[in-house]
Structure 1
Amino acid sequence: MLRLFDLSLLINGFPIKEAKAELDTIMGLSEKEHALFIQHKKEEIVAYHLQNNPFYAALVGSINTKSWNDLPILNKQNLQKPLSERLSKGYSIKNVYLNKTSGSSGTPFVFAKDKYCHALTWASNSMRFGWHGINFNTSYQARFYGIPMDFIGNKKERFKDFLSNRYRFPIFNLSDIVLERFLQKFRIKKFDYLNGYTSSIVLFAKFLEKKNIILKDICPSLKACFVTSEMLFESDKNLLKKQFGILIINEYGASELDLIAFENPNEEWQINAETLFVEILDENNQPVPNGIEGRIIITSLFNKAHPFIRYDIGDIGILDKKSTSQKPILKKLIGRTNDVAVLPSGKKSPGLTFYYVTKSIIEDDGNVKEFIIKQTQIDSFEIEYVSDNELHKNQIEKIKTAIALYLEPDLNFTFTRKTVLERTNRGKLKQFKSCL
């Protein structure tokens, strides 16, 4: 079997072989060696960015950098300036991996990873999926994700799907007619696993429940289902187990970092302690004991192109009391839920659909700082945003066109510029909220 997935990474300049070898070495460390490795990588990445990244050096200022707990906490607001002002010396838009965060927290921005760091992300993904018998080079994926609607973006994504051995089920319309078509694909294709947004996969499971169908019965090759990007509630997990008849694996990640926590074969949410350093802090930025909830703060140990050092991801979590530094276990993640939008045609669309819509709002000038979308009536939505300058008419038209394309035409939108947006009692900005 041609290792198409690994090959596609190599062709794009991501040294996957070296990354896999380094990850194997890290995995082979003893508890004591691992603690030293983490200490060394933390010191190394801070020193590197202080020397090579003017943006980070300015942020740290005259703070004593020998004391880890005194280092500043980075947040998405700090990062809302053009990417060119945040890259380390020697890196440019041409020689890095470039992407946008989903804005699911309401605060989108453009970020970069150096190519080795991105290769490590894939090595780490590959290893974790491997725990459950999935091989990116050979296993066939049923992918429940969005897809760009413009011709070039769409073709590019479809080609990536081909290289990655996956078939995409676009999630912008999840009406029963569409879900019936999804179901027919499972009858004829030999999928090994499902992967995608929690809310979309849960809607598919509810459809199967209504029809009294177990997915594994009609697609016997299926082994596992991996849900991501949104909270998986216990009741939904039970529904998925029942209707799919396979393993349900919960992952927690962030595009700008890596997989943060991934369910291991013992059903523990194991934190990535190989490429990341994860802390749980209180509101005064002090570490809390395991078992106590706090803010999830993450350091990317290998990203030299762009600093993610003590980065506040905007989520609240609790580490299990039995966690060790080599094997931290996330006991609970609080936050990260997205509603479903119900539209006049009867179509249902997950809140994360708005990720693709808001991509058309987000430009790398950092004008729009934060936004939330509220559904006030079946055909009416409010977009509240914080920005340096008011959105101008052609930007609003662009957004409306994108919304008509991704959701459906004839929806009403009002745009309100605010100085501050309403947050949940945990300080989390919920990107999409249904008031129906």
Structure 2
Amino acid sequence: MGLFNWTLQLKGYDIAFAKAELSRIQSIPASEYPDYIAKKKAEIVAYHKKHNPFYKKRAAHLSDLDWNDLPVLTKSDLQQPLTQRLSKGFTPKNVYVNKTSGSSGHPFVFAKDKFSHALSWASFMDRYDWYDLDVNRSRQARFYGIPLDFVGYRKERLKDWIGKRYRFPVFDLSDEKLAGVLKKFETTPFDYLNGYTSSIVLFAKFLKQKNNILKEVCPSLKACIVTSEMLFDSDKQLMEAQFGIPIINEYGASELGLIAFQNREGHFQVDSELLFVEILDDNNQPVPDGTAGNIVVTSLYNKAHPFIRYAIGDIGTLSQKENLKYPVLEKLIGRTNDIARLPSGKVVPGLTFYYVTKSVIEEDGNVSEFVIEQTAMDTFKIIYKAKRKLNAAEENAIIKATYTYLEDDLNIIFEKVDLMDRSNRGKLKQFVSKI
């Protein structure tokens, strides 16, 4: 047993049994999978209606059989003391406890029973194995944030050591720091990169500037896994070119584990073993496959805390090819609160504005990163990091593109900065509405 697996077992997470159970679930024939999903949905609802006062209060009067009548839980619903949300028999001392990142604006503390948490790790290990990666043995170059207080910092470093990870803190991604990152790759046989999309994209841009291919610098590399932020096609192509290895998109949440993971065929495969994923409209009704809506997730095994029809706060679409055993997340569009409201009454995803700007200001490689803030109904601020300030022609091109794709007479403010604000544990939120 590897060191990482051993630490999980030591903490009471029976990873060996969880792996065996995951294997059993995966062996269920596709023809029998609808029955498996229906059974697990009914079981988890019945369990929480009986043993969880928090959930019972919300769903006791509803039939277990009419799934669409069950309440949709939001993050704001869960912003109350954890002890009020735990099932009977569970306490903060006999469960896995963590907190969400707060990137959605609704942070909260959550719990998973130990078997459910072990299953989540078994799922991670299974997906990594698709690319010949082993969390016990493969050496990871980790591009993440890190707590800066003494205890938190040392705790994360210890976890990194156990997990064979070397962490590159992403609060400062200047060229000087990135040169140090490259030097580490020259002397360390990393197997893969893992971390925030924007940080790894910035490293790829640095490599392009220096005319380096990472696989040539570090021949042991097998793959790069990006997570927590949107992955754009142009950024993926850049990373593939500069790293010389497969770029894998990962979508997950700390309270749920892996939600989707890119398979070898390039599809964003949903975890249908441990989760049930739905796409709902704003009235909490299912939408046809291929239609965008709110991503709602049910954890089929977490008995300590109900995550039943839980609106994670993201918008996406499921593939039109309905397959309960191998569902595919066709598109991950963004967060539900990443919406720009315009003076005309038009409402557009903030991502629309980002695409427009991205296509204009990154053409010559001057701008390495940018975010957009909506400060008023008609006003957007573009905050960017660049070698030089945008000239008048470049600014006018962005304004013209904005008028073309959104609407006329918007106020666009430009602000050049030396470093981007990564206060949220290193994440870079590409669009923020402040109205």
Q: Give your verdict on TM over 0.5.
A: yes
Q: Which residue of 2 aligns with 1:6?
A: 5
1: CA distance, partners of 2:78 / 2:381:
29
2: CA distance, partners of 1:149 / 1:376:
28
1:184-224 C-alpha deviation (Å, 9 max, x unpaired)? 00000000000001011011111111111110010000000
* 8 Å contact kept, 1:257–1:300: yes
Which amino acid letter does the alignment assign opposite residue 16 of structure 1?
I
Alpha-carbon distance, 1:64 to partner = 2.6
Q: Which residue of 1 aligns with 2:290?
A: 291
User: In structure 2, do the counterparts of structure 1 residues 434 and 318 end up closer, same or farther at CA, with 3 Å as the change threshold?
Assistant: closer
2: CA distance, partners of 1:169 / 1:434:
29
Q: Which residue of 2 aligns with 1:244?
A: 243
Alpha-carbon distance, 1:63 to partner = 2.3
* 8 Å contact kept, 1:196–1:226: yes
Q: Which residue of 1 aligns with 2:52?
A: 53
1:139-192 C-alpha deviation (Å, 9 max, x unpaired)? 000000111111111111111111111111111111111111001000000000
Q: Which residue of 2 aligns with 1:76?
A: 75
1:411-422 aligned within 5 A: none
Percent identical across equivalent pairs?
58
2: CA distance, partners of 1:297 / 1:316:
9
1:371-393 C-alpha deviation (Å, 9 max, x unpaired)? xxx98989xxxxxxxxxxxxxxx
User: In structure 2, do the counterparts of structure 1 residues 377 and 330 end up closer, same or farther at CA, with 3 Å as the change threshold?
Assistant: closer
* 8 Å contact kept, 2:95–2:114: yes
Q: Which residue of 2 aligns with 1:310?
A: 309
Q: Which residue of 2 aligns with 1:256?
A: 255
* 8 Å contact kept, 2:49–2:60: no
Q: Which residue of 2 aligns with 1:33?
A: 32
* Paired residue total: 361
Which amino acid letter does the alignment assign opposite residue 90 of structure 1?
G
2: CA distance, partners of 1:87 / 1:197:
31
Alpha-carbon distance, 1:323 to partner = 3.3
Structure 1 stretches lacking a partner, 5+ long: 340-347, 352-373, 379-404, 408-429
Q: Which residue of 2 aligns with 1:185?
A: 184
SS in structure 2 of the partner of residue 39 of structure 1: helix
Which amino acid letter does the alignment assign opposite residue 260 of structure 1?
I
User: In structure 2, do the counterparts of structure 1 residues 162 and 350 end up closer, same or farther at CA, with 3 Å as the change threshold?
Assistant: farther
1: CA distance, partners of 2:93 / 2:119:
19
TM-score (norm 2): 0.78
Q: RMSD over aligned Cα, in angstroms? A: 2.6
Alpha-carbon distance, 1:291 to partner = 1.2
User: In structure 2, do the counterparts of structure 1 residues 175 and 246 end up closer, same or farther at CA, with 3 Å as the change threshold?
Assistant: same
Alpha-carbon distance, 1:433 to partner = 3.2
14-23 vs 55-64, which deviates more?
A: 55-64
Q: Which residue of 2 aligns with 1:325?
A: 324
1: CA distance, partners of 2:89 / 2:333:
38
1: CA distance, partners of 2:103 / 2:152:
21
1: CA distance, partners of 2:322 / 2:270:
9
* 8 Å contact kept, 1:376–1:434: no
* 8 Å contact kept, 1:192–1:222: yes
Q: Which residue of 1 aligns with 2:121?
A: 122
Alpha-carbon distance, 1:350 to partner = 9.4
1: CA distance, partners of 2:102 / 2:430:
7
Structure 2 stretches lacking a partner, 5+ long: 339-350, 355-367, 372-379, 385-420, 424-428
Alpha-carbon distance, 1:325 to partner = 0.7
2: CA distance, partners of 1:20 / 1:63:
34
Q: Which residue of 2 aligns with 1:218?
A: 217
2: CA distance, partners of 1:26 / 1:14:
19
Q: Which residue of 2 aligns with 1:362?
A: none
Alpha-carbon distance, 1:103 to partner = 1.1
1:46-96 C-alpha deviation (Å, 9 max, x unpaired)? 011001100001111422332111000001011010111101111111111
2: CA distance, partners of 1:174 / 1:431:
16
SS in structure 1 of the partner of residue 236 of structure 2: helix
* 8 Å contact kept, 1:161–1:167: yes
2: CA distance, partners of 1:291 / 1:328:
12
Q: Which residue of 2 aligns with 1:169?
A: 168
Q: Which residue of 2 aligns with 1:275?
A: 274
* 8 Å contact kept, 2:52–2:86: yes
1:290-313 C-alpha deviation (Å, 9 max, x unpaired)? 111111110000000000000011
1:397-427 C-alpha deviation (Å, 9 max, x unpaired)? xxxxxxxx986xxxxxxxxxxxxxxxxxxxx
